[in-house]
Amino acid sequence: MSQRIGLSWLQLRHEKMKLFAAVSGVMVSVVLMWMQLGLMKALFASAVVLHGSLAGEVVVIHSQYEHLLHSKVFSSRLLYRLKGSPDVVSVSGIYLAPIEWKNPWNGEMRSMQCYGIETESPGLSIPGLADQLASLRQRDVFLYDRLARPRFGNVVGELERGADIKPELNRRRMKLAGLVDLGASFGIDGNLLVSHANFLRLFSERDPGHIDLGVVRLKPGVSVEAAQRQFQQQLGEQVLVLTRDQFADIELKYWKSATPIGVIFSAGTFVGFFIGFIVVYQILYTDVTNHLPQYATMKAMGFSNAYLRGLILAQSLQLGLLGFVPGTLIAAMLYAALRNVTQLPLTLDPARGIFLAAVTVVMCALSGLFAIRRLSSADPAEVF
């Protein structure tokens, strides 16, 4: 469609208020879609932050493990058998359990997720953790999750002020030794890291010989799948030997089936799409209706239906573009604000940006195509 004088745009901008309304409609729709998809992605991503931080290619869990809040312990001797394999660099066992945090400022009790790690071989690669392993070896200390929800008190702020923070954990006085970044998720409002020794002090009923997660680091160049198969055979059916991605999938699958999050946010995204579609359609439709005499004139002068359809379609796409850019900027601001409040890993993912741009184009094109049907009412015989 050649529109050498930009007819579609000249017509669109002629009525500023209408243009503003249409662009706002697209904008609202784009913001909604960004928010819905972003929150869904972030919620799921938050559930597997720990999985992504495991310092190993292979993970060992009990065969009846369900998810991080519903783990099952297995004998650490099984895991340490793998130390003998020529493919293995190191193995590390991780304890995990929910722990009672008593807010040192108001005495409120809250549950956090506590990980007991080996300070020689922590099995986790979290930025800044390596430097703090030495202090973690002290008696009755812990590392606190900087991204924990604010309900545990202003821990980070107080620490930065230089305060000594000694809350009660499982009724045991512990000292905060530093911060790590992990993040909140479904059912987990914040995380704590302690050494194996301190974990066993906090959970005196736990059997030291049984761990929740086993992390295996392979030598470079070793096939993960082959090692996984071999270890599974070696360890028997009491445990599951998984790649890191498979381990994360268990978590995602659980939360996807246990919560209606996927459905809710997909529906929300569709609502956003629908709002945009309706607004653009309404505006283009009334616009075509108001301009019927003009379109009839153009038809009489020899403009083909294809040209006029192209004109309307071009307008719908221009509206889409005009709405998408500011909509994305607003979404970016909302993401930043929500990140601060929810500690969810909300990011403007470029791939999702391309996807949403395509969705916006489809949305506008659909509205345009529906509005185009109105064109057939422009009868060139009525121009005289």
Partner 1 sequence: MNTTNGARGTAGDSRAESAGSSMPAVSSVIQCSGVNFFFGQGELRKQILFEVEFAIEPGEIVLLTGPSGSGKTTLLTLIAGLRSMQEGQMHVLGYRLHNPGPRDLLEVRRRIGFIFQAHNLLPYLTALQNVQVMFELQPNVSAEEGRQRAARMLEQVGLGDRLHYQVARLSGGQRQRVAIARALVGGPQLVLADEPTAALDGASGREVVNLLQALAREQGRPILMVTHDTRVLDIADRILELQDGRLASHSTGALSKPAAV
Contacts to partner 1 by CB under 8 A = 1-5, 7, 10-11, 13-14, 293-294, 297, 299-304, 306-307, 380-381, 383-384
Smallest gap, in angstroms, from Cβ of residue 7 to partner 1? 7
Q: Is 326 or 380 the residue whose CB approaches partner 1 more closely?
A: 380
Residue count (the chain): 384
Smallest gap, in angstroms, from Cβ of residue 371 to partner 1? 17
Q: Are strands 74-75 and 168-169 parallel, antiparallel or unpaired?
A: unpaired
Q: Is 19 or 49 the residue whose CB approaches partner 1 more closely?
A: 19
Identity at 55, one-letter amino acid code: A
Smallest gap, in angstroms, from Cβ of residue 5 to partner 1? 5
Q: Is 159 or 383 the residue whose CB approaches partner 1 more closely?
A: 383
Smallest gap, in angstroms, from Cβ of residue 370 to partner 1? 23
Looking at residue 219, the DSSP 8-state letter turns out to be: P
Smallest gap, in angstroms, from Cβ of residue 149 to partner 1? 54
For residues 106 and 122, what is the distance between their CA atoms, to the nearest angstrom? 33
Smallest gap, in angstroms, from Cβ of residue 16 to partner 1? 11
Number of alpha helices (DSSP H) and beta strands (DSSP E) in the chain: 13, 12
Smallest gap, in angstroms, from Cβ of residue 369 to partner 1? 19
- Structural contact between residues 213 and 123, judged by C-beta atoms closer than 8 angstroms: yes
Q: Is 29 or 315 the residue whose CB approaches partner 1 more closely?
A: 315
Smallest gap, in angstroms, from Cβ of residue 379 to partner 1? 8
Nearest to 211, CA basis, from 78, 89, 111: 78
Smallest gap, in angstroms, from Cβ of residue 364 to partner 1? 20
Q: Is 13 or 77 the residue whose CB approaches partner 1 more closely?
A: 13
The Cβ-side half-sphere exposure at 133, using a 13 Å CA radius, reads 15
Nearest to 75, CA basis, from 232, 245, 212: 212
Q: Is 145 or 287 the residue whose CB approaches partner 1 more closely?
A: 287
How far apart are the two ends of the chain, measured CA to CA in Å? 28
Identity at 128, one-letter amino acid code: G
- Structural contact between residues 244 and 56, judged by C-beta atoms closer than 8 angstroms: yes
Q: Which two tokens stand for residue 123?
A: 């099995």
Q: Is 15 or 66 the residue whose CB approaches partner 1 more closely?
A: 15
User: Which residues lie closer than 8 Å to 328 by C-beta, 6 or more apart?
Assistant: 30, 34, 348, 353, 356
For residues 52 and 121, what is the distance between their CA atoms, to the nearest angstrom? 17
For residues 359 and 353, what is the distance between their CA atoms, to the nearest angstrom? 10
- Structural contact between residues 119 and 135, judged by C-beta atoms closer than 8 angstroms: no
For residues 62 and 75, what is the distance between their CA atoms, to the nearest angstrom? 9
Q: Is 19 or 35 the residue whose CB approaches partner 1 more closely?
A: 19
3-state secondary structure of 163: coil
